[in-house]
Structure 1
Amino acid sequence: MTRRRPRPYDRELQNLRLHVGHERQGPVPVGWYFARFSRHLRRGEVVPVTYMAQEYALFRTRGGQLGMIDSQCCHMGADLGRCGRVSEERLVCGFHAWEFDRDGTCRKIPGAGRIPSRAAQRSVPVTELGGIIWFWHGSPAPEPLDELDFAEDRRRHLYLAGEVLVCHADLLPIGEHVTDASHWAYTHSPGRPMTSVQLRDEGRRFSFLIQPADADDTRIYHFRPYTLISMASPTTAVAVPQPGPRPDGKPPRMAFVAAVSPVRPGVTLATWSLVVRKFGPDWLLWPANRLWAAFLWRLVRRNHHADFDILRWMRPVAKDLWSVADGPTVRAYRRFYRRNLPPAMEEGAEERVSGMS
Structure 2
Amino acid sequence: MRLRPRFRPRAYDRALETTQSTARPDGTAYPTGWYVARFSRHLKRGQVVAVTFMSRHYALFRTRGGRVGMVESQCCHLGADLSRCGHVAGEHLVCGFHAWAFDRSGRCTDIPGQDRIPARAGQRSLPVMEQAGNIWFWHGEGPPHPLDTAAFADDRRRYVTLPGQVSVFHVDLLSVAEHVADLAHWPYSHQARELMEYVPVRDEGPHFEFRIQPAAARASRRMQRFFRPYALVTMAGPAATVFRAPTGPDIDRDRPAFAAILGASPVRNGVTFSTWRVAVRKLGPDLPLWPLNRLLAALVWLVAGPDAVCCGRRWAGNWRG
Give the structure-2-normalised TM-score. 0.92
| Structure with greater helix share of residues | 1
**Residues 243 and 261 of structure 2 are in contact (CA less than 8 Å); yes or no, is this contact kept in structure 1?**
yes
Partner SS for 2:36: strand
**Residues 35 and 238 of structure 2 are in contact (CA less than 8 Å); yes or no, is this contact kept in structure 1?**
no
d(CA) in 2 for partners of 1:43, 1:223: 38
Which residue number corresponds to residue 344 of structure 1?
Answer: none
d(CA) in 2 for partners of 1:151, 1:44: 26
Q: CA deviation at 1:273?
A: 0.9
Which residue number corresponds to residue 77 of structure 1?
Answer: 79
d(CA) in 2 for partners of 1:310, 1:228: 24
The answer to whether structure 1 residue 272 and structure 2 residue 264 are counterparts is no
**Residues 244 and 253 of structure 2 are in contact (CA less than 8 Å); yes or no, is this contact kept in structure 1?**
no
Greater displacement, 90-99 / 2-11? 2-11
Partner SS for 1:29: coil
Uncovered stretches (5+) of structure 2, i.e. residues with no partner: none
Per-residue CA deviations over 1:202-236 (Å, capped at 9, x if unaligned) read 31121111122333333135752211111112211
Q: CA deviation at 1:282?
A: 2.6
d(CA) in 1 for partners of 2:207, 2:234: 8
Superposed CA RMSD in Å reads 1.9
**Residues 20 and 55 of structure 1 are in contact (CA less than 8 Å); yes or no, is this contact kept in structure 2?**
no
Q: Map residues 29-44 of structure 1 onto 2, 5 A cutoff.
A: 29-44=31-46
1:104 to 89, 103, 106: 106
Which residue number corresponds to residue 170 of structure 2?
Answer: 168
Partner SS for 2:178: helix
Per-residue CA deviations over 1:254-283 (Å, capped at 9, x if unaligned) read 210111100011111121111222233333
Which residue number corresponds to residue 322 of structure 1?
Answer: none
1:210 to 209, 212, 217: 212
Q: Map residues 1-357 of structure 1 onto 2, 5 A cutoff.
A: 1-16=4-19, 18-220=20-222, 221=225, 223-249=227-253, 251-312=255-316
d(CA) in 1 for partners of 2:261, 2:30: 20
Uncovered stretches (5+) of structure 1, i.e. residues with no partner: 315-357
Amino acid at match of 2:37: A
**Residues 247 and 257 of structure 2 are in contact (CA less than 8 Å); yes or no, is this contact kept in structure 1?**
no
d(CA) in 1 for partners of 2:88, 2:191: 48
Partner SS for 1:82: helix
**Residues 150 and 261 of structure 2 are in contact (CA less than 8 Å); yes or no, is this contact kept in structure 1?**
no
**Residues 3 and 46 of structure 1 are in contact (CA less than 8 Å); yes or no, is this contact kept in structure 2?**
no
**Structure 1 pair 39–223 and aligned structure 2 pair: CA distance change class (3 A):** closer
d(CA) in 1 for partners of 2:43, 2:252: 35
**Structure 1 pair 134–210 and aligned structure 2 pair: CA distance change class (3 A):** same
Q: CA deviation at 1:97?
A: 1.1
Amino acid at match of 1:265: N
Q: CA deviation at 1:249?
A: 4.9
**Residues 246 and 258 of structure 2 are in contact (CA less than 8 Å); yes or no, is this contact kept in structure 1?**
no
Amino acid at match of 1:177: H
Per-residue CA deviations over 1:88-109 (Å, capped at 9, x if unaligned) read 1111111111111111111111
Partner SS for 1:275: strand
Amino acid at match of 1:72: Q
Number of aligned residue pairs = 313
Partner SS for 1:163: strand
Q: CA deviation at 1:291?
A: 1.0
